Structure 1
Amino acid sequence: MQGTRLDMDRIRAARQVIAPIFLDSPLYRCEALELGCAVDIKLETANPVRSFKGRGTEVVASQLATSDSRAVVCASAGNLGQALAWSGRDRGLDVTVVASRFATTAKLDRIRALGAKLELVDGDHELARVRAAEIARYDGIRLLEDSLDLETCEGAATIGLELVDALHGTDPAVLIALGGGALATGVGYVLKTLAPAVEVICVQPLGAPALTRSWHERRVVTTETADTIADGVAGRIPIPEVLDDLLVVADDAVLVQESSIVAGLRLLLDHAGLVVEPSAALGIAAILEDRDRFAGRQVVTIVCGSNVDQDKYRRWVGL
């Protein structure tokens, strides 16, 4: 596909270096989710870091393991940091993660448990990005920028390779959580290259709409705040290069309300037996808010993570 930074040969090559535990994740029809359409779940939580992020960090870590510099720093809301720590641990990499001290405690604890250095900042994810860049410059080490660095996008794109053969239903659509954009651009690129009839729909919370607004206005739109329970997608400052890719591979970008995200969490628990983080319920939220659009169609939702604060989760779902 012309006009993007992504490359199909590199995506296929990524499958060769990603640990098998992250590949070929479960994909199944969840008939218990009676939403007026055929809902297929692509479950990206059944792995050691409980999110799709390991696909991208495996690519990065495999490269660093054979380079002169074996140190890397990233900013993370939690999931990327865990994944980079896991991928770097057995390869002997020196991993530093910068995160907001307001990030989900369970995610921060897991980053520490996996052996990474963790630095906390008194601000949101955007401040963590600034601090990570400072560390990289000062120490002369690799800065891994989620969604900007192609390894994160093309690692995530391997999910698309696993979806293509399963998209044979009525007017199929794939719902993808939209945060920094690695998942959406990666999967969207593969689908639009190999199965162009599939509708690629990105979903973002109404309280963190920057990249969705940017997609609609075809220019970078920033926001002063991000207010959503879906912390994994709560960015405020889109990356221009990512927006350029997204404009090519996405058919639509929609915003959903917090109440719909919570309803999605409950449905996935009650009818699919899945405990997930709010970002992973965005696809279900989108169906709930526009049932007519999806009626009678095959709809794939990528359940992208399950690292959630248990106390908050119980309040959200009423346990």
Structure 2
Amino acid sequence: MRQRTRLDTVRIRAAREVIDPVFLDTPLYRCPALEPVLGCAVSVKLETANPVRSFKGRGTEVIASRLAGGGSRAVVCASAGNLGQALAWSGRGRGLDVTVVASRFAPAAKLDRIRALGARLELVDGDFDTARERAAAIARHGGVRLVEDSLDLETCEGAATIGLELVDGPGGAPPPFDAVLVALGGGAMATGVGHVVKALAPGVEVICVQPLGAPAMTYSWRRRQVVTTDTTDTIADGVAGRCPIPAVLDDLLVVADDAVLVREESITAGMRLLLHHAGLVVEPSAALGVAAVLEDRDRFAGRHVVTIVCGSNVDVDAYHRWVGAAPAGQV
């Protein structure tokens, strides 16, 4: 394991200068309505308050600004939906030729939005990792820049600007919270935010959260080596990867204090809580932090945690099924 990450705090601060301000300085606020049911103080970092409704635009802005500066203006990525939307947005604004490869089973709302933003969309039979393989083939054969989420430092360092906004308090004051709950998929947000938090506020605990039905990165973190899975089974499509990237795992091992797995019913309960107590419609990946508190209230009792609400691109019909009726005894 490396003792340092691939990320650089100076570059992360510089990234803020090239990211469209529409993605920066997202709301961060304490949400007292959530606190009685969760048993701890909760602050929300709202990464859905932007045109692509997820944090991914921070990283794609860094990538697109560099591509627009010279070289190939064609770019391809694999996406579960949110990265594709973000790259399409950033590319459209800079005149790039964007191709997005996605599973045909991805949420229709995300696929429709990618098309609407002007990207070329190619669908594959299979899951996100199948789409990754196809995107890599397009890049190889066409001489196109491949954007690989989490492996490309721009995606991590763009996401890391969230960490700057969390810990750069007025007058250098330490943040009021003692833990950050971060959704864990490929690892861009977890390693990016984790890098900044550990560099600038090392006393804050970085806790990564992943669905039990898509546990590859968490298993890899626990065993300190890459662990792949054959399948995934979770409604949290944005974090449903099977094949962790070794370099990203090495970064995660440096910055994450813990990685936990949560059940599907906890994810839907978290979505329900965010709707009823915070007025937030979120996709399943964005409710992972709340789900982690629900599953281990004793661990967080009396503490102040921040949960990063990372996306709100959700199929309306599916959302209503997930949050419509709470099982007996649940919120």
TM-score (structure 2 length as normaliser): 0.95
Distance (Å, rounded) in 2 between the aligned partners of 1:229 and 1:127: 18
1:260 counterpart = 2:266? yes
Superposed counterparts of 1:1-319, under 5 Å = 2-33=3-34, 34=36, 35-165=38-168, 168-169=175-176, 172-318=178-324
| Amino acid in structure 1 at the alignment position of 2:22 | I
- Secondary structure at the aligned position of 2:238 is classed as helix
Distance (Å, rounded) in 1 between the aligned partners of 2:249 and 2:201: 21
- Secondary structure at the aligned position of 1:301 is classed as strand
| Amino acid in structure 1 at the alignment position of 2:91 | G
- Secondary structure at the aligned position of 1:5 is classed as coil
| Amino acid in structure 2 at the alignment position of 1:176 | V
| Amino acid in structure 2 at the alignment position of 1:39 | V
Distance (Å, rounded) in 1 between the aligned partners of 2:156 and 2:278: 28
Q: Deviations over 1:52-111 (max 9, x none)?
A: 000000000000001121000000000000000000001100000000000010000000
Distance (Å, rounded) in 2 between the aligned partners of 1:182 and 1:68: 25
Distance (Å, rounded) in 2 between the aligned partners of 1:165 and 1:51: 21
Distance (Å, rounded) in 2 between the aligned partners of 1:99 and 1:116: 12
Report runs of 4+ in structure 1 exceeding 6 Å deviation: none
Q: Is the 8 A contact 1:169 1:297 kept in 2?
A: no
Q: Deviations over 1:136-172 (max 9, x none)?
A: 01110100000000000000000000000456336x1
| Amino acid in structure 2 at the alignment position of 1:168 | P
Distance (Å, rounded) in 1 between the aligned partners of 2:189 and 2:224: 19
Which ranges in structure 2 are unaligned for 5 or more consecutive residues?
326-331
- Secondary structure at the aligned position of 1:21 is classed as helix
Q: Deviations over 1:100-134 (max 9, x none)?
A: 00001000000000000000000000000000000
| Amino acid in structure 1 at the alignment position of 2:149 | D
The percent of aligned pairs where both chains have the same amino acid is 80
| Amino acid in structure 2 at the alignment position of 1:304 | C
- Secondary structure at the aligned position of 2:318 is classed as helix
| Amino acid in structure 2 at the alignment position of 1:99 | A
Distance (Å, rounded) in 2 between the aligned partners of 1:276 and 1:138: 37
Which ranges in structure 1 are unaligned for 5 or more consecutive residues?
none
Distance (Å, rounded) in 1 between the aligned partners of 2:52 and 2:265: 27
| Amino acid in structure 1 at the alignment position of 2:64 | A
Distance (Å, rounded) in 2 between the aligned partners of 1:223 and 1:213: 10
Q: Is the 8 A contact 2:58 2:159 kept in 1?
A: yes
Q: Is the 8 A contact 1:32 1:271 kept in 2?
A: yes
TM-score (structure 1 length as normaliser): 0.98
- Secondary structure at the aligned position of 1:32 is classed as helix
| Amino acid in structure 2 at the alignment position of 1:40 | S
Q: CA deviation at 1:3?
A: 1.6
- Secondary structure at the aligned position of 2:266 is classed as helix
| Amino acid in structure 2 at the alignment position of 1:71 | A
Q: Is the 8 A contact 2:180 2:207 kept in 1?
A: yes
Q: CA deviation at 1:2?
A: 4.8
Distance (Å, rounded) in 2 between the aligned partners of 1:272 and 1:160: 22
Q: CA deviation at 1:242?
A: 0.3
Distance (Å, rounded) in 2 between the aligned partners of 1:119 and 1:151: 23
- Secondary structure at the aligned position of 1:118 is classed as strand
Q: Could you say what the CA RMSD is over the residues aligned between the two structures, in angstroms?
A: 1.0
- Secondary structure at the aligned position of 1:96 is classed as strand
